[in-house]
Amino acid sequence: MKRKEIVLIKETKQNEFVKKIMDAIAPFLAIRPSDRVAIKINLSGSKEIYANTHYETVESLIHYLREKYGITQITVIEGSDGAYFSAKTTWDIFYKFKYKEVERHGAQLCDLDELPHDQILQVETISGLQEVNFCRFPADYLISVVPPKTHNIFPVSLSIPNLIGFVKPEQRVLMFGASAQEMKRINFFQSEKYFQLLHLANRNFVALLKQIPPSLVLIDGLYGMEGKGPIKGSPVFHGFAIASEDAVVADALATHIMGFNPDDLPYLDLAFHEGLGNNRWQNIIGMDPQQVKFPYRPHPLFQRQRKWREAKSRVQGPGEQPPQKQPPSHEENHPEED
């Protein structure tokens, strides 16, 4: 597929990095003044600030879109997992993390959990095929703004897992390959069923990406999360940002910047072979990735996560063909320094 530009910057000042990254990517964006813009944030933590998209980033982005493009229809959207699992509403999380203030800057807020979840996605689970309901938001241009985090299923959680907020809250767990009751019975550190989850969750999120592809991804790496992400990990003050209209390549580069091999993130490989984006970057605008790269402490399950290819072979149907050969990975092209 046609390659889209990707920008990488290094910046530690909150009030400067949005303008810096957006100025660099702006000449390549397919955004128009008349567009209805939705900014999909990530509020997976009900009280964990470093698990969530930073409010100041979104506020700066709203100002930029209004001043640079003259866009007047901007809505900040989310269906918060943190709210659901703490018996709260997304509105409670909006208020807790200052998002109500976006209305003072000419934007609107939308709780995706309140929209009709009238779209159906067939997902794969350890009990067989099931259906989940998801919603759509009426936008011409969808921007996904997320912090880089580690994860207990995926090695890292970036823009593609951020799509979970569109799914009906009580059905989100099925996106990871099992029901809530089944999840409780799986020992992630010992059970062979964990390997099934690795395979199924990644396939399900690629299926969702087909339905709701972001128009632009902004990885807000001013801070990230390492260790027991995506909620209970430790903060990493990193100071980088990535922007691209290709969600797959944005997630791939962010994975590398976090010190992981993109080839260990199954949904990138699957999305590439589905034609949804490139998982190899070329001609980065801005910084050399090696000057920004900082190794995050992985999730305790990381060594099991890396066995996803074994998991794939265990659950791959007899009629499925192996994917086409990939070009060499960036890790192969750029060996790690001692």
pLDDT at 293: 98
pLDDT at 312: 62
Asked if pLDDT for residue 332 goes beyond 50, the answer is no
Going by pLDDT thresholds of 50, 70 and 90, the confidence category of residue 335 is very low
Contact yes or no for 242/221 (Cβ under 8 A): yes
Three state DSSP letters for 205-217? HHHHHHHCCCCEE
Domain boundaries defined on the chain: 6-317
76: its two tokens: 């900040």
Contact yes or no for 52/58 (Cβ under 8 A): no
Mean pLDDT for the chain overall: 92
pLDDT at 316: 55
The Cα diameter of the chain in Å comes to 57
Asked if pLDDT for residue 210 goes beyond 70, the answer is yes
Q: pTM of the predicted model, to two decimals? A: 0.92
Cβ contacts of 13-20, under 8 Å, gap ≥ 24: 14/54, 14/56, 14/57, 14/60, 14/222, 15/56, 15/60, 17/57, 17/222, 17/239, 17/241, 18/57, 18/60, 18/61, 18/64, 18/241, 19/60, 19/64, 20/241
pLDDT at 189: 96
Compute the distance between CA of residue 152 and CA of residue 186 in angstroms, rounded to an integer: 13
Contact yes or no for 307/195 (Cβ under 8 A): yes
Contact yes or no for 207/199 (Cβ under 8 A): no
pLDDT at 319: 46
pLDDT at 311: 59
Q: What percent of the chain has pLDDT over 70?
A: 91
Task: Spell out a b/e string for 77-91, using b for 16 or more CB atoms within 10 Å of the CB, else e.
Answer: bbbbbbbbeeebbbb
Closest among 158, 266, 130, 133 to 211, alpha carbons compared: 133
Residue range 2-30, pLDDT digits in tens: 799 999 999 999 889 999 999 999 999 99
Mean pLDDT of 188-197: 95
Contact yes or no for 151/229 (Cβ under 8 A): yes
**Strand stretches in the chain, DSSP E:** 6-10, 36-40, 73-78, 108-111, 119-125, 128-134, 141-146, 149-150, 156-157, 216-226, 234-244, 285-286
pLDDT at 333: 39
Contact yes or no for 268/40 (Cβ under 8 A): no
Going by pLDDT thresholds of 50, 70 and 90, the confidence category of residue 226 is very high
Q: What percent of the chain has pLDDT over 90?
A: 88
Compute the distance between CA of residue 80 and CA of residue 42 in angstroms, rounded to an integer: 7
Compute the distance between CA of residue 144 and CA of residue 266 in angstroms, rounded to an integer: 20
Contact yes or no for 159/219 (Cβ under 8 A): yes
The answer to which of 46-50, 101-105, 155-159, 319-323 has the lowest mean pLDDT is 319-323
CATH of 6-317, one of 3.40.390, 3.40.50, 1.10.238, 3.90.930: 3.40.50
Mean pLDDT of 237-247: 98
Residue range 274-322, pLDDT digits in tens: 999 999 999 999 999 999 999 999 999 999 999 877 656 655 554 444 4
Report how far apart, in Å, the C-alpha atoms of 190 and of each of 10, 28, 173, 193, 218 are.
Answer: 39, 47, 20, 9, 36
